[in-house]
């Protein structure tokens, strides 16, 4: 009987604990993670960040509470354009380049699509965030 129990125990899959990152303080949604905001801990959960270099500079998409795992799915690039910010709209077509001001209708990180209202015409256009407070608009 003891031999059967021992065999069953040996055949059962065991999750090995690996180093992962946990929050050292409350990280609110839309806050950028700094080096002191995370610490290593033994974790068995999948999808948890393992190296501080992976997460420092990223923005939390949800609140991460102290001692809770820092999941890569809960992080993203930091926004460089805030909602209602005045941005430069840039349209390029060959040698033609048009610049005007617009109002961001959402938040966006570099490379994100973003809806912007042109302040001169009040038309809403969609472009790609290319730099801090700059959105490039493309023709359809």
Listed in order, the ranges of the chain carrying CATH 3.90.1210.10 are 16-77
pLDDT digits (tens, 9 = 90+) for 100-109: 999 999 999 9
Instruction: Give the CA angle between residues 83, 87, 90 to the nearest 5°.
Output: 135
Right CATH for 16-77 from 3.90.1210.10, 3.40.50.360, 3.10.20.30, 3.60.15.10: 3.90.1210.10
The greatest distance separating any two alpha carbons of the chain, rounded to the nearest whole angstrom, comes to 84
Q: Higher-confidence residue: 1 or 73?
A: 73
- Asked if CATH classification 2.30.30.760 holds for the domain at 79-137, the reply, yes or no, is yes
* Stretch (H or E) spanning 134: strand 134-137
Q: Where are the beta strands (DSSP E) in 7-47?
A: 18-23, 38-43
Tokens of 54: 């992976």
Model pLDDT, residue 3: 56
Which of 40 and 1 is assigned the larger pLDDT?
40
The pLDDT value recorded for residue 139 is 73
| pTM beyond 0.85, yes or no | no
Q: CB atoms < 10 A from the CB of 133, how many? A: 16
Q: How far apart are CA 118 and CA 139, in angstroms?
A: 15
Return residue ranges of the chain for CATH 2.30.30.760. Answer: 79-137
């Amino acid at each position: 009987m003891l031999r059967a129990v021992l065999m069953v125990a040996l055949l059962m899959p065991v999750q090995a604990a690996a180093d992962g990152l946990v929050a050292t303080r409350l990280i609110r949604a839309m806050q950028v993670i700094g080096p002191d905001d995370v610490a290593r801990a033994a974790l068995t959960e999948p999808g948890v960040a393992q190296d501080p270099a992976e997460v420092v500079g990223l923005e939390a998409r949800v609140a991460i509470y102290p001692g809770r795992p820092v999941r890569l799915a809960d992080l993203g690039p930091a926004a460089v354009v805030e909602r209602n910010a005045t941005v430069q709209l840039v349209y390029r077509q060959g040698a033609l380049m048009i610049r005007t001001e617009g109002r961001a209708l959402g938040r966006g990180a570099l490379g994100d699509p973003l809806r912007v209202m042109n302040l001169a015409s009040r038309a809403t256009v969609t472009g790609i965030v290319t730099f801090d407070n700059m959105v490039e608009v493309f023709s359809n």
